[in-house]
Amino acid sequence: MPTIELNGTRLYYEDTGTGDETILFSHGLLWDRRLFGPQVEALRLDYRCIAYDHRGQGRSAVPTESTIPIDLLALDAVALIEKLDLGAVHFVGLSMGGFVGMRVAVWRPDLVRSLSLLETSADPEPRKNVPRYKGLNLVVAVAGPKAVASRVMPIMFGRTFLEDPARAAERDHWRGIIEGNAKTITKSVNGVLQRPSIADHLPDIQAPTLVVVGDEDVATTPAKAKRLVAGIPGARLVTIPGAGHSSTIEQPQPVIAALRGFLADLPR
């Protein structure tokens, strides 16, 4: 699948499906485009689906700088939309991808036909979390992600997924992806920890917006999702039972249903 040179970097992306409308999938921290595998597989029957890896993650290029700012990732997304000549897209962002999507929607409303925000927040990283996450990041820089995977899993996934004996193989698979990150993932973590708030700009989002949150999410809690809905004009909230911070993996079918329903209801 292709890579593309833009905004001083090289991004990897996968482009599948057919349809007059395009969905752009923007993943969360520590993951890559595979985070949306079930959703792409289902929605590509009706939409062109593009899932890409952020700068510094997955198969995309890693910069030399020690921090990858969220604002820079948003500029990358703008450049990707423009360089692929996609027009206005249905932007689907989870966690970090949501940070990106909100910025794109505020800065370039002409490029966002609709906005779906999964397990994300408009706020900066809570102060109480920063020392803990900085500590984990330091361990990663020295020993690699495998050294912290056991502590990261309960942040990324809810108890329903983590405690289900029938899903042990899935847990091992996704833990392996976390452990497979290079030590340079610290650059992306720094960007998340240093991100500025965009809460004051939520009323500026013009695109129809869906907010999705897992009821077991401890990283960006349901309360934060409700703040998004209160701040974005006309936003719709869907809560996914039995999901934590990675609902696309933990409860893929309810997420697909929520996206399908939201997209089907949009004016054509």
| pLDDT score for 255 | 99
Above 70 in pLDDT, residue 17? Answer: yes
pLDDT digit string, tens, across residues 155-168: 999 999 999 999 99
Return d(Cα 233, Cα 19) in angstroms, integer: 28
Query: Predicted confidence band at 23 (pLDDT cuts at 50, 70, 90)?
Result: very high
Mean pLDDT of 117-139: 96
Please report the pLDDT score of residue 181 as a whole number.
Answer: 98
Every domain of the chain and the residues it spans? 3-265
Q: What is the mean pLDDT of residues 18-31?
A: 97
pTM of the model as a whole: 0.97
Mean pLDDT of 18-41: 98
The pLDDT, as a whole number, for residue 252 is 99
Phi-psi region of 30 (alpha: psi -120 to 50; beta: other; left: phi over 0): left
Distance CA 208, CA 263 (A): 9
The secondary element (H helix, E strand) that includes residue 125 is: none
DSSP string, 9-76: EEEEEEEE--SSSEEEEE--TT--GGGGHHHHHHHTTTSEEEEEPPTTSTTSPPPSSS---HHHHHHH
Residue 268 has pLDDT above 90, yes or no: no
Confidence of residue 1 (pLDDT cuts 50, 70, 90): low
**pLDDT value at position 169?**
99
Q: Is the pLDDT of residue 133 over 90?
A: yes
Give the integer Cα–Cα distance in Å for 245 and 154. Answer: 9
Report whether 83 contacts 6 (CB < 8 A): yes
Q: Which CATH fold topology does 3-265 show?
A: Rossmann fold (3.40.50)
* 38: its two tokens: 């079930």
Mean pLDDT of all residues belonging to the chain: 98
* pLDDT tens per residue, range 195-241: 999 999 999 999 999 999 999 999 999 999 999 999 999 999 999 99
